[in-house]
Each structure stands twice: as C-alpha cells, then as structure tokens.
Structure 1
C-alpha cells in the first residue's frame, strides 16, 4: 500500500466509527447527509434515512431523531447521499417530484408509493419553490397554452369591471378566466358551484348550478356533500390559491 491508499482506508474507517459524546442522542454523520449516529447507553449505531430523506441535525441538544425530505434539510458539508432508488413517478423512494408530462401535477412519494396531487386550474407546480404557482410564472410551463386560446378584452372595453375582469369558460361551467393587466389566468369554482356571468360585462361569481341556466346538471348525480367533506379533510384548494406540497415524516433504518 502507498501512503494515499492508507489515508483513504483510514478515512473510510473513521467515517464508520463514532464515539458518543453523551449516553443518549442522535448525531449527524460527518460526510453523509442521509446517515446519522444513534447513541444509546453510550453505544453508537449507524442509521440511514429512507432513500430520498436526510437527517435533520438542527436540534442543538441532539435529542431529536428526524429524517425529512432532502429539500427541507440543510446538509452543509455533508454532501454524500445513498444512490437513488426509483419507482414509477418517484426519482427516490421518498420525496416530492413533478410529473413527467403534466405541469399541473406532482407526486408525493412515500416508500416508493406515489400519491398524485393536482394544482388548481391555472396553476402549475414549481419545481424549486415546491408549490403551485401561476403557470406563466413557472419556467418549465411557459410554453404550455395556459388559457386555451382565450384572449382578454382590450384595455378600456370593460370600464365597469374594475382592475380585473372575469369571463366564463366556453366549455366548462365550473371554470372561468380572470384577466389582470391583459393576462388571462384560469380559475375554478369551489366544488358544488359553477360560474355565473354577472350583469356587467367582465363580471360574475360562483353560484349554485340551479341558478345558472345551462349548467343545472353539471354535477349530475354526484354526492356533493361527500365530495365537499373529502376535499375539506384533504386540505385541497379549489379556488386557485397557492397550494404547498405535503410534508414528510421521519423514516429510517
């Protein structure tokens, strides 16, 4: 062995040994962000977070065992990670990932099992901020046709509409467009309602389907009470406001 080989062997051994500073605690690995040391009765055990999670070392007392999504953890100089393990829609077993084809869809992966989430109408999933934002503000989605060919009226044509105007979707009773500074953005009425054109040009509100001619049977035989309850429990945003991605819980081995 030459001197370089001996140094590499020494470093490898040093990384896999740890002297507990206290009887009990959880301590970050020196070079790996998804590994950490568990100390119990002054005996250390090397632990590894789930694939796609990292050890959160923010507890100054080292009493918290928490593996969180990679984007939520400040790794600093702990740059090493276990190789990715992927499943359909999941780049790693744990994490939040954009859909391969649709800008308004993202996947929350837990142990390789993906759960599908969809942004509200007019929004797209931003890969860096990890929230749903206006589609024309998301770089990957700028080339998509956000408003399906709808064009806002020229400035001055809607004097009674105020600073913005609302316009019915030509095909979907629940959807409508908002024009702000000449930019059209698609919205969706809350479940159980549809868009009703107002008395003034460029105005309207979400109302009961029975009060909107032509949209009375929009929901058919759906049990709207059950749907409203499930959306409320899921925390879904049906009115087009920004929706954050779900948070992770600890998982390690």
Structure 2
C-alpha cells in the first residue's frame, strides 16, 4: 500500500511540476516534458499549454524555440516525450491527421486532415509501404496479397520463354492495352506505357515495346476520342 502511494505521489508531483511550467524567455514555443503532442507557448513570459491536432506532434527541432510547428507523428522525433492524446478516428483515418494505408487494397492510402480522408493510389505495379510511407514495388510490401502483386500475374518458369534475354522478359496485360509486365528473376512487376501509347507484343517471345495505338492491332481505339496529336505537342511522347 505504501509503495503504491509513493508511486502515486511521484506521478502527482511530476504532473504538477510540469503544469507549473516557467517560461525560459519572454517569447517562444517549448516542448512538453512527457507529451509529444503538447507544447508550451510563452508570450510576454506567460505560459499557455497547447495541444496539436489529433495525429500531429510538436516539432521541437528549433534550437531557438521560435517555431510553432505541429507535424505528422512519423515526421517528429518524440524522444522521451512518449505520451499522446487518445486517438480520434473517422472512416479511413486512425487519427484525425496523418497518412494511413488502406485496410483492403495495398496500393491505396489515405491522407487525413481534420478527419477528412483523401484517397490516393500508387502507380501501376506499386503499393504503399506503411513503414517507409512511400509507394514501392508491390512485391517489396509485405502487406500485399499474392493476387495484388502485379495483378496476380505469374512469370513463366525459367526456360519457358524462348526469346527472353536471360531472366528478363516483357508480357502484355490481358485486359489493358497500356499496361504490361516485366519479369526479372521470376518476379513480376506491372508497368504502364506513357500516355498516348500502348504496349505492343514483340516478334519474339517475352519482348515488346510501347508504340502508337494505330500500330497495335486491337488497341487502335484505346484512347477513344482523345486527340493524340495534341497530347504529343504537349510533350506526351513515348
């Protein structure tokens, strides 16, 4: 019982000591001792406790303490400031502010600002990596299911593609004229031709290149009524 009271007393004293913060200078922004999403604003030597938005943390990297900046949690080195306000979640947002992976599709992620989620999708063949927080090749993202890596495409076994150069080969997408797969060392990665072009299967197995739609049988109308000549003038070229 005594040990419990001692621990409780330490916690209370620590809390009171922190709430009785004294400004080191007349003006500045100072990190809270134990909370990463709280900080002290000093104005005319008067301290005011502030809290960042839910999912943001106070960036205390300014050695002069003149910058008031709340940034995404993953961008801030909290050090020993380990406490955070309880999470407030909304659809697709674990907290009101932050960047979060989609729970069902590994190439989709959500940018949340004040609880409003904006959907983003990685380029073909890529997926959102939760640790690096960037789009990477889907085969390098552990959360991706097999069918999500290169759309489930499986590379031919070694030696099956007669015209392939070593372990490298190209293969057309079964449904989309603009997309194709590259197999390297048995790993398939999905690519997309530049806008205005489509993938044309080469003369030898496992080869191909991006060409004008009119030169690829079955893909002539891929872009519909889009003026491809105008696109090329704007710099969209293969």
TM range (shorter): 0.7 to 0.9
Structure 2 counterpart SS, 1:144: helix
Q: CA deviation at 1:132?
A: 1.4
- Distance of 1:74 and 1:13 partners within structure 2: 25
1:62 to 49, 62, 65: 65
Residue number among 79, 85, 94 corresponding to 1:91 in the alignment: 94
The whole-number CA distance in structure 2 between the counterparts of 1:200 and 1:182 is: 19
Q: Secondary structure at the match of 1:140?
A: coil
Say if 1:198 and 1:27 are closer, same or farther in 2 by CA, change over 3 A. same
RCO (CA 8 Å, sep 6+): is it higher in 1 or 2? 1
1:33 aligns with 2:41: no
Separation of aligned partners in 2, 1:153 and 1:99: 31
8 Å contact from structure 2 (residues 31, 39) kept in 1: yes
Give the Cα separation in 1 of the matches to 2:11 and 2:165.
Answer: 71
Q: CA deviation at 1:209?
A: 2.1
Aligned counterparts of 2:62 and 2:100: Cα–Cα separation in 1: 27
Structure 2's unaligned 5+ residue stretches are none
- Separation of aligned partners in 2, 1:226 and 1:77: 57
Task: Provide the alpha-carbon RMSD of the alignment.
Answer: 2.6
Distance in 1, matches of 2:158 and 2:107, equals 29
Q: Is the contact made by 1:108 and 1:117 (CA closer than 8 Å) also made in structure 2?
A: yes
Moved over 6 A (4+): 223-228
Output the TM-score relative to the length of structure 1. Answer: 0.80
Residue segments in structure 1 that go unaligned for 5+ positions in a row: 233-253
Give 3-state SS (helix, strand or coil) of 2:13's partner: helix
| Equivalent residue for 2:222, pick from 197, 218, 223 | 218
TM-score scaled by structure 2? Answer: 0.85
